[in-house]
Structure formats: C-alpha cells, structure tokens
Structure 1
C-alpha cells in the first residue's frame, strides 16, 4: 500500500513551486479523514467496503485572483504573498523588494538599461520616435493660433522686405542708367553752322604737275573744318583723327586724292564748336596726260591771272568728298562722318607761263 500524501512537507512543496508556477500554495487546514488509499485509485472502494473520502474546500477558502499589473503597481495580491504566505518574513521580503524596485537608483538603472537595449536592438525605432516627436511638436506649434499669427507676420515682413529690395534695386538701376546716359559720349560730327569746310592754300606747297610718264600731280594744302561735340553731356576725347579728300566731278566713282591726320588726341568741347585745321597732301598718278582727272585738276589749278578775263576768274572749280575718321574714348570702333563740297577752288596755283597741255 502506498504511503499517504504528506501535505506538511514544506521543502518538497518549495521545490515543486520553484519548478512550476503555482500562484496559490498556502497551506489550508482542510478536514481530512485519515484513511489509506488503495491501489485501485481514489474512486475505488477500500478494503472495508467504504468509498475513499476527499476534503471539500469551502467557497470562502478559494485563492485570491492574481493580477500582474496590480503586482507591478504594488496593489492587490502579490506573487510573493501567494508564494510564501502572509507571514512576517514574507511581508519583510515584499517590502524589501518594493523598496528596491521603486528606488530612484533602480529606476535610473532600469531606464538606462532600457534605453541602451532599445538603441542597440532597434536604433531605427529610436530615431523614428524622435522624428515623430519633433513632427508632432511642429504640428502642435503650427496649429497654435499664436504660431500661425507669427508665421503670417513673418511672411508679411518677408514680402515687405522683398518689395523694399525691389524698389532699391529699381532705384539703383535707374541711377546707373541715368549715369550711363549722361556719361557715355556721343559721336561728334562735321558742322556747317559757323562756316563750311574749305580747302586752304599754303605757301611752299611743293606743287608739281607733270605730263611725263608717269603723269602725275602733287602739292600740299590745308583743310579747315569744324567739329560739333555738343551732343555729349561731357567733353569728348578724340584720337586718330584722319581726313580723306576724294574727287567726285571727273568720274562717277570717288577717286582718292589727298589724306591728312592729327597725330595727337584732343578734347572736343561739349559747349562750343571745335574748329580744326589739318594738313593735307594731294597726290595723283596716271598713265597719260589725257586722263580726265589729271586734266580737270590741271585746269582748276591754273594761274589765276592768266585765267582772268574782264575781271572774272574763268578757271573751273572742283567737286570733292570730305571723309573724316576718328576714335572716341568710351565708344567702340572707328567713327565716320562725311560731306560733299561743290564749287571748290583748287588750293594750289601754277606759275604764269606753265604749259596747259
């Protein structure tokens, strides 16, 4: 016959409770009839013919319900109470555990450990939570009426700044444009206001008219011309001034006869007219004395006394084209201006008795 069950073996019960979770193991003093169990089970009849009796617990002796949240919050039935019973030693153990769990050092250690574990295992969750917190804070700030008002004020301020900047930029551009308008020089031109351009005879002009091969003529003369620089708001600096004289009467195409230049640069006034005198050198070469240009200029430059009949000078005049070229400081490229002169007397005179050919 098996030995009866030992309900008072505390050591054996502790080992069993340590292996399996049993929330309620407090010893209860149930009324038990001391009878031996037979080998055929609890429901089988005993040797004396009487059925096996078991203790029936009272409904008020049921173990209280265990709640893990209440256990964590230190309210309700605790696991240690169920494990060790409501004893002074158990209460001391519970108090010690509660004090250790709720101490600041334990909470700080637990938080630090939890943070380290979370950051080590799930770093993306930590970053996402931080981003979510910032986003939520931004959303809360954006929904705040005061924040919206500040943003609206900032937008208006930036808009006003943009307007002020636009006005300042427009004023600067207008000033630059006005400065350019007044500073940039205008091109001077030949003026006929005071006197028209004229060819001037000079002494010792080295006059030569030759009918020999090659047929040619050459002499020196001068050009008086007036330059008008008043279109500019500032005086105009002129350089590389050059004058070209071409014949227009003998042929249909202009024939270059003379050139002259001013070596140094000069300043043309913007208030008054600027008279200029240029030294010219005429030179023309052809094959035969019958050349139309050579014949025209030979007659135009004949002796005045011999060509005067009844007090009238009968020698013919010539028609020329005056072309000037120059550079202006502040302007790009070479500038040009030209004019035509008709009924112009030759700026040279052959001596008396010169052959007429």
Structure 2
C-alpha cells in the first residue's frame, strides 16, 4: 500500500489528497518606541527636528536654500545685494521727477481782454488769462506727464485768492527747459469797492490817465502737481512781482 506523501492527506475517506499549508508563525509585538513613532505628535517632532537640522546646515553654509543647492547663506546675501543695487539703478532712470518752475524774464501775465469784467456795486472782477512759466525737466530721464497741474493765484499784498486753473493731461519732454502758458480763470468778489484786493486790481488795470502811473501787481502762484507714475502730489509756490496789468480799462469803466 502506498503511503501518503508529506503535506498530503485523505479527507473523509474519499481518497482525495489535500495539500496542507504551513502558516508562518506570528512575529514579535511592536515595541513602545515603534508605536510612538507612528503617532501624529512623533511625526511633528520629526519634522521640526528635520527643519532645525536643515536650518543649522544652511546657517553654516553647508546646504542651499529652498532646494537650490548653490543658494547658500553667503550666496543669498550676494544675490540680494546685487538685486537691490540693480533695482535702485533702474528706479533712478524710470521714476519721473517733478520739474522745477520759474518765471520767464519777459511776459508773465496775459489776459483775454474780451472776457474782462469789472463792477463796483457789487465789487467784483473776472477775466480769463494765462500765467507763463518755465518748467525745468533737466533732472528727469523720462517725459513728464501731468494728469493734473492745479494752479492757484493769490494777491501777494492781501493774500486773497484771485485765480484758479487746471492744466491737465499734458506732457513735457525730458531734459531741458519748457515754456508753458498755464490757463487761469481770474475771479474775485468783495463787499464794496473799498476792498483792498479789488481796488488793487482796479488801479493796476485802470485807464492810463495823463500824469498818472498805474501800480504794479504781485502774485503768489502755487502749483500742485499730479504726475503719472509719481507717488504723492508735489507742490511749489513762486512769487511774481512788478507785474504790469496786460489790459487797460476804458476811461468810463465803473
């Protein structure tokens, strides 16, 4: 009679051979350290330790920054300095600069005689005119574009506002001197004709009577600049003295 082979057996006397499977023995249980290493707290500690190690190595110039091998601490300082230097040079050339303003040596004050109106009761005057100025853009490497150039004219003797204007959406070239005619609406109202501002303008622009001399005018012109690309609104004031009124009132005026 044939003996059954190792790993084979007869089930229920049926004569069928069944393969026996050997089950491996269970391994040893996990230690406490192994179990702790799988917790969230342990993983956070491991990440902190890894970051600390990377920081110490970078601080000692032993590794790069942000995965870039050559970006050591010393190289980062060099790159940052070079970037800031290049940025400073670039901004020096591309940032617009506010021009300097002055008055020309000839005509400063112009007026449209067709718009002149003077009244004694109530005391007022109004007309349109121009203030001529020189814009010096020598320090600007780019053309200067004015979104707005707000003009305010004060009577320097009384410090009263007598004119306003807005020179807007205009561009002057870079470098050099530029002659500008800034439009101004002159207007002033007072209680009566004894007002110093009204009488000063009336006398300076009155009829040229024989044997009399008309007094000069003195203005303080303030310019508030809104320049494209420039942060803030630079403001400058200039004094214009010894100005002759550009028109003459008729002999029968007011």
Same fold (TM > 0.5): yes
Q: 2:63 — aligned with what? A: 158
User: Which of the pair is proportionally richer in helix?
Assistant: 1
Give the alignment's TM-score, normalised by structure 2. Answer: 0.70
Alignment correspondent of 2:245 = 346
Q: How many Å separate the matches in 2 of 1:273 and 1:317?
A: 28
Kindly state the Cα deviation for residue 161 of structure 1 after the two structures are TM-superposed: 4.3
What value does the CA root-mean-square deviation take over the aligned residues?
Answer: 2.8
Select which of 83, 86, 90 maps to 1:175.
86
Q: Is 1:315 matched with 2:221?
A: no
Check if 1:207 corresponds to 2:116: yes
Distance 1:197 1:190 in 2: 15
Q: Which runs of 4+ in 1 moved over 4 A?
A: 125-128
1: CA distance, partners of 2:94 / 2:138:
13
Q: Map of 1:1-357 to 2, 5 A cutoff? A: 113=25, 116-119=26-29, 123-124=30-31, 127=34, 158=63, 161-162=71-72, 163-192=74-103, 195=105, 198-204=108-114, 206-212=115-121, 214-249=122-157, 251=158, 254-263=159-168, 265-304=169-208, 306=209, 308-309=210-211, 314-354=213-253
Query: 1:118–1:175: structure 2 CA closer, same or farther, 3 Å change rule?
Result: same
Given that residues 239 and 328 in structure 1 are in contact (C-alpha distance below 8 angstroms), is that contact kept between their aligned partners in structure 2?
yes
**Structure 1 gap ranges (5+):** 1-108, 129-151
Q: Structure 2 unaligned runs (5+)?
A: 1-21, 36-56, 65-69
1:246–1:257: 8 Å Cα contact kept in structure 2?
A: yes
Report if aligned partners of 1:319, 1:342 keep a CA contact under 8 Å in 2: yes
Q: How many residues align?
A: 204
CA distance in 2, matches of 1:270, 1:179: 17
TM, length-normalised to structure 1: 0.51
CA contact (8 A) 2:99 2:136 kept: yes
Change in CA separation of 1:196 and 1:164 when aligned onto 2, cut-off 3 Å: farther
Distance verdict in 2 for CA 1:165–1:294, change over 3 Å: closer
- Normalized per residue, the structure richer in strand is 2
Give yes or no for contact 2:111–2:127 (8 Å, CA) kept in 1.
no
Q: Residues 197, 354 of structure 1: CA spacing in aligned structure 2 closer, same or farther, 3 A cutoff?
A: closer
Whole-angstrom CA distance in 2 between matches of 1:215 and 1:267: 39
